[in-house]
Chains A and B, each alone.
Chain A
Amino acid sequence: MTNNTIITKDLPNRKINVTRPFAATVDKVWKAFTDSTVLDQWWAPRPWRAETKTMNFTEGGYWLYCMISPEGDQKAWCKVSFHTIVPGQSFTSTANFCDEDGNINEDFPAMHWLVKFEATATGAQVVVDISFDNDADMNKIVEMGFEGGFTMALGNLDELFAA
Chain B
Amino acid sequence: MNHDIFKAIADPTRRAILTLLAVQAMTPNAIAGHFDSTRQAVSKHIQVLVDCDAVKQQQTGREIYYHFNAQKMKEVDQWLEPFRKLWDNRFNQLDDILKDL
Can you spell out 21 A-B residue pairs with CB atoms less than 8 angstroms apart? A3-B95, A5-B84, A5-B88, A7-B84, A7-B87, A18-B87, A24-B98, A31-B101, A42-B94, A42-B96, A45-B90, A136-B70, A139-B70, A139-B74, A140-B70, A142-B83, A143-B18, A143-B73, A153-B23, A157-B12, A160-B82
A interface footprint on B72-101 (CB within 8 Å = 1, 0 otherwise): 011000011011111111111111111101
Q: Is B22 an interface residue when CB atoms closer than 8 A count as contact?
A: yes
Pick from A9, A143, A147: contact of B22, CB under 8 Å: A143
Which residues of the partner chain A approach B23 to less than 8 Å between Cβ atoms? Answer: 144, 153
A160, chain B: closest CB distance, angstroms: 8
Question: Other CB < 8 Å A-B pairs besides A29-B98, A144-B22, 15 of them?
Answer: A2-B92, A29-B94, A139-B73, A142-B82, A144-B19, A146-B87, A148-B82, A148-B85, A148-B86, A152-B16, A152-B19, A153-B22, A153-B23, A157-B15, A158-B12
Q: How far is the CA of A2 from the CA of B92 in the complex (A)?
A: 7
Pick from B15, B19, B94: contact of A32, CB under 8 Å: B94
Pick from A3, A31, A158, A161: contact of B91, CB under 8 Å: A3
Pick from A9, A140, A157: contact of B80, CB under 8 Å: A9
- Seen from chain A, the residues whose Cβ lies within 8 Å of a Cβ on chain B are 2-3, 5, 7, 9, 16, 18, 20, 22-24, 28-29, 31-32, 38, 41-46, 136, 139-140, 142-149, 152-153, 157-158, 160-161, 163
With A142-B79, A153-B19: A23-B95 Cβ-Cβ less than 8 Å: yes
Say whether A149 contacts B95, CB under 8 Å: no
Pick from B68, B79, B87, B94: contact of A22, CB under 8 Å: B94
| Chain B residues bordering chain A, tally (CB within 8 A) | 34
Q: Is B20 an interface residue when CB atoms closer than 8 A count as contact?
A: yes
Q: How far is the CA of A149 from the CA of B98 in the complex (A)?
A: 26
Which residues of the partner chain B approach A144 to less than 8 Å between Cβ atoms? Answer: 19, 22-23, 82
